[in-house]
Amino acid sequence: MSYSLHESPIPVMKPLLPTADLITPYLEQIDENRWYSNFGPLVTQLESRLEKHFGVEEGTVALVSSATSGIVMAMRTLSVPRGSYCALPAWTFAATPAAVYNADMVPFFVDVDEDTWAVDPESLLQIREKISAVVPVAPFGTPLDMDHWESFQARTGLPIVVDAASCFDSFARVDSFRISEIPVILSLHATKTFGCGEGGLIICKNKDFIKRIKDLSNFGFTDEEMYARGENAKMSEYTAAVGLAELDNWENKRAHYQELSDLYSKYLGNIGLQNWRSGDWISSTSIVRLPFDRVEDVVNILKSKGIETRRWWRRGCHHFQAYSEFPRLPLITTEVLVNSALGLPNWIGMTEEHVKRVISGLCEAIQATDPSRAVSISPKSEAKA
């Protein structure tokens, strides 16, 4: 270990959910109500407060047990042939292909755009005749432009479900990432900016669709009949209690993430690297693109300095044994990102000193890995901050 004994290791993530004192008033309501799951008053209250938070109409938000289940259920409503191909990026978390597969479709991996790290709808036209649906992914909280996806849908007639797991903040703040007929799924997992332990949220303008999702999350029961195979993917009242307390404290939590994001932008800028996050939105991950493709070496050097980093999406989903058999287009940009994108420590409670330590460790790791980069990425420039 080359870090000083006085410097404690810096983890890559340290989730923070509301403390017991903030949750207790909601738990007392549950005691009083004696209603524990199945669309109870706290889940209803959280949906309604989140609709206000996002500035959307009543009946356009459904809470479910996870984003993964949300994607599965949204896809089951698409009425596409079982076993047909669904295009999705290989540059995503393993939940996306798992959801596609569990919705009885076959993942068809496609590449992402170098600038946005998301699927460019135009790139799908070459496989239009092969695929029956698309699941674009909004990477690491980055907003998608819904105009592009709506016009792609109008042109091709393909059903679309957006995996926007990390986009709680960008969906609320970025105009182009707006509610539409295309369902958008957010994750409320503990590792996300807005969390309640485990949970997912579906937003769609089509209120019948939202009602259908709720039915599917309750085994497929409707008021009279069971038309579709559902599952148990409801959110419990206890989870909603955490979500309500999280929403009470949201502005405060958000401000801490914003401060951290600003610090990273400043210090990364000083060494000539860019914070992947840009714009007026926050994310629970901080990603940097290294100037070469030896990310694993940098991870190991930083580890020896007590700084934990993460290749959040590992080598891309197409490399997992579970998904390696599925068809794909050439994944040129994906392979570049797999070997150069790195998740830096990002959690509430990190101080400016922590950020400086991460950046100076990063400089040293980059120089040690590729000395030719030492000129443009000098730790001395850190003093400018």
Ligand X SMILES: Cc1ncc(COP(=O)(O)O)c(C=O)c1O
Looking at the annotation, which residues are catalytic? 192
CB closer to ligand X out of 137 and 210: 137
Q: Is 165 in the site for ligand X (CB under 6 A)?
A: yes
Q: Is 166 in the site for ligand X (CB under 6 A)?
A: yes
Site string for ligand X, 198-217 (x = CB under 6 A): --x-----------------
CB closer to ligand X out of 197 and 379: 197
> What's the closest the beta carbon of residue 160 comes to ligand X, in angstroms?
15
3-state secondary structure 2-61: CCCCCCCCECCCCCCCCCHHHHHHHHHHHHHHCCCCCCCHHHHHHHHHHHHHHCCCCCCE
> What's the closest the beta carbon of residue 236 comes to ligand X, in angstroms?
15
Q: Is 193 in the site for ligand X (CB under 6 A)?
A: no
The DSSP secondary structure of 156-184, one letter per residue, reads: H---B-EE-TT-HHHHHH-TTS---SS-E
CB closer to ligand X out of 91 and 267: 91
> What's the closest the beta carbon of residue 313 comes to ligand X, in angstroms?
8
Retrieve residue 260's tokens: 């951290």
| Footprint of ligand X on 11-70 (CB under 6 A) | 66-68
Q: Is 239 in the site for ligand X (CB under 6 A)?
A: no
> What's the closest the beta carbon of residue 22 comes to ligand X, in angstroms?
22
> What's the closest the beta carbon of residue 118 comes to ligand X, in angstroms?
11
| Footprint of ligand X on 134-153 (CB under 6 A) | 137
Retrieve residue 209's tokens: 């669709």
CB closer to ligand X out of 188 and 359: 188
Sign of torsion over alpha carbons 250, 135, 204, 78: negative
Cα 39 versus chain centre, distance: 25
CB closer to ligand X out of 103 and 165: 165
CB closer to ligand X out of 187 and 193: 187
Site string for ligand X, 73-112 (x = CB under 6 A): -------------------xx-xx----------------
Task: Give the count of residues interacting with ligand X (CB under 6 A).
Answer: 14
Strands 200-203 and 61-64: antiparallel
b (16+ CB within 10 A) / e for 150-185 = bebbeeeebbbbbbbbbbbbbbbbbeebbbbebbbb
> What's the closest the beta carbon of residue 318 comes to ligand X, in angstroms?
15
Contact 172, 53 (CB under 8 A): yes
Q: Given candidates 47, 111, 120, 163, which one binds ligand X under the rule CB under 6 A?
A: 163
Q: Among residues 173, 214, 217, 213, which one has the least CA distance to residue 193?
A: 173
Q: Is 189 in the site for ligand X (CB under 6 A)?
A: yes
> What's the closest the beta carbon of residue 67 comes to ligand X, in angstroms?
3
Q: Is 323 in the site for ligand X (CB under 6 A)?
A: no
Retrieve residue 370's tokens: 């590729």
Q: Is 187 in the site for ligand X (CB under 6 A)?
A: yes
Contact 140, 278 (CB under 8 A): no
CB closer to ligand X out of 93 and 108: 93
Strand runs labelled E in the chain: 61-64, 85-89, 106-110, 131-134, 162-163, 184-187, 200-203, 286-289, 341-344
Sign of torsion over alpha carbons 189, 191, 196, 197: positive
Q: Coil, helix or strand for 230?
A: coil
Residues that bind ligand X (CB under 6 A): 66-68, 92-93, 95-96, 137, 163, 165-166, 187, 189, 200
